[in-house]
Amino acid sequence: MKKGTLKGFLAGMAVMAILVSVVGSAVATFGAKSLTVDYCNIQILVDGSKLNPTDVNGTPVEPFAYKGTTYLPARAVADACGFNVEWDQDNYTVKLTKRDASTYANEYKEIGVPAMENVFPDAVYENTQYLDGEVIYTYDRSSLPKDILLIDGYEGWLEDNGYKLTSSETDENGNTVYTFENKSNGMTVTVSSSADDTKLFVTVYYGDSSTDLNTSEPS
């Protein structure tokens, strides 16, 4: 089946939000309407990265085409594009609000998430390593709070951008590795320290989310 062309991007997102995210409420008030739509394995790429859209519960949501227009899940796509999404139940309105980029100076471009130095202004960035399927950002550990719970501050920034803390495990060096996942774009971020605790690593995995993650210390 031929893939449909993406048309009316934001309009499509808004319509999709009404059709998918709040269909229960809408049907209760306005009555049901049956549609015959095409599911043709439509792929979504955001700045070249594949988006795996889900609903608020993490259930996959597949885009579809209807009469030449492609409809995308509003919440997942808007979040990936830097918008906050709000449903106004009283007025049956989807509100998209652009996140204020002025609140931080730098971001990890692979995921559009504020960099560590925006949460901790004294953080000393050292270098970036580009590896196969991952990018590692290195910081001087002494420039950050000594308490490993510093991640609590950074966690809030990640959550604002759709990332959830999924695990905190101890590696072979006795250091904690925090793992954050974003079900909307299929990407993963880990935060960990070097064996001698002099470096802090923020690792962005932008490959297949099913790939085993390498949480070992970078060379």
My answer on whether 81 and 115 are in the same domain is no
Give residue 129's domain range. 101-205
My answer on whether 66 and 85 are in the same domain is yes
My answer on whether 87 and 117 are in the same domain is no
My answer on whether 163 and 88 are in the same domain is no
In a domain, 219, yes or no: no
In a domain, 2, yes or no: no
Last residue of a domain, one of 73, 98, 123: 98
In a domain, 212, yes or no: no
20-51 pLDDT, tens digit each: 444 444 444 556 778 888 888 888 887 666 77
Q: What is the pLDDT of residue 25?
A: 41
| 215 close to 177: Cβ distance less than 8 angstroms | yes
My answer on whether 111 and 92 are in the same domain is no
Last residue of a domain, one of 98, 123, 153: 98
Cα 29 from Cα 92, distance rounded (Å): 10
Q: What is the mean pLDDT of residues 192-203?
A: 88
My answer on whether 201 and 105 are in the same domain is yes
φ and ψ of 80, to 5 deg: -65, -25
* Confidence band, pLDDT 50/70/90 cuts, at residue 6: very low
My answer on whether 93 and 171 are in the same domain is no
136-169 pLDDT, tens digit each: 889 998 888 776 555 667 777 788 778 888 998 9
Model confidence, pTM: 0.48
My answer on whether 119 and 150 are in the same domain is yes
Closest-CA residue to 202 (of 169, 167, 161, 158) = 158
Pick the most confident of 11-15, 70-74, 129-133: 70-74
My answer on whether 200 and 114 are in the same domain is yes
In a domain, 211, yes or no: no
A 10 A CB-CB count for 119 gives 18
My answer on whether 25 and 89 are in the same domain is yes
Please count the structural domains in the chain. Answer: 2
Last residue of a domain, one of 81, 98, 115: 98
87-122 pLDDT, tens digit each: 888 888 888 876 554 444 456 665 666 678 777 778
* Confidence band, pLDDT 50/70/90 cuts, at residue 179: very high
Is residue 73 helix, strand or coil? coil
